[in-house]
Amino acid sequence: MREPTPPDESGPEERDELLAAEYVLGTLPAEERRALRDRAEVDGAFAARIQAWEARLAPLNDAYEEAPAPDLLPQIEARLFGALPVATAPKPRQRWASFGWRAGAGAVAALVLFLAVVFWPPAPGPMLLQAELAAEEADLRFAARWDASAGQLELTRIAGDDAPQGQDYELWLIDDSGVPRSLGLLRAPVTQVSALLAPGVTLAVSLEPEGGSPEAAPTGPVLAAAALTEG
């Protein structure tokens, strides 16, 4: 019986990753393999782990040529319709050869699993962009952070006061075209905006009349600007 993986050294995600790898390698007992197969049919995340391991280990098959399946029909017919000859006990050398093959196969599977887990590069995470917009002539600073997984830009005023009475801070996006596009007013200490961004685009904050610029571009002074970079 296969000894279970000790649970105290890894979390649920690590255990699921190991189970998915063992499922693909075929090192699990039949009962446990059936249970994982049933789980994959209802657990999309676990099914995705299995598919990822199948893709990772698929290149290993390139080193082997396809072999035809053995012809087992004569043995099946003999078992159904006639007694098979009594098999003689294998010689000790044959026993050790069989044991060595099984031990070697297990060692190879364990080695492949170890190398794949330790050295296979992890899947890239969602892109994160950030920038700090600081005014040169005033104590006004904004921290910008954009998370690609949510498509959400968060701008936090980390220094400075609200805009003067009768005015508003306005946030602008400037891409390669050089044409500014308003992303909204910054009236709260933290503002969240849905936006599709990329590294290198510039964010700028201008001081506008209350309600924002009456034009399609800033009409007041641009107080701070910075380009988004990966971080």
Per-residue model confidence (pLDDT) at position 39: 87
Of the pLDDT bands very low, low, confident and very high (cuts 50, 70, 90), residue 192 is: very high
- All structural domains of the chain with their residue ranges: 7-119, 128-230
- Locate 211 and state its tokens: 């309600």
pLDDT digits over 133-168, tens only?
A: 998 878 899 999 998 888 889 999 999 999 999 999
The CATH number of domain 128-230, selected from 3.40.30, 2.60.40, 3.30.230, 1.10.20: 2.60.40
Per-residue model confidence (pLDDT) at position 74: 73
Of the pLDDT bands very low, low, confident and very high (cuts 50, 70, 90), residue 59 is: confident
Of the pLDDT bands very low, low, confident and very high (cuts 50, 70, 90), residue 80 is: low
CB under 8 Å to 35, separation ≥6 — which residues?
none
Instruction: Find how far residue 177's CA is from the centre of its chain.
Output: 32
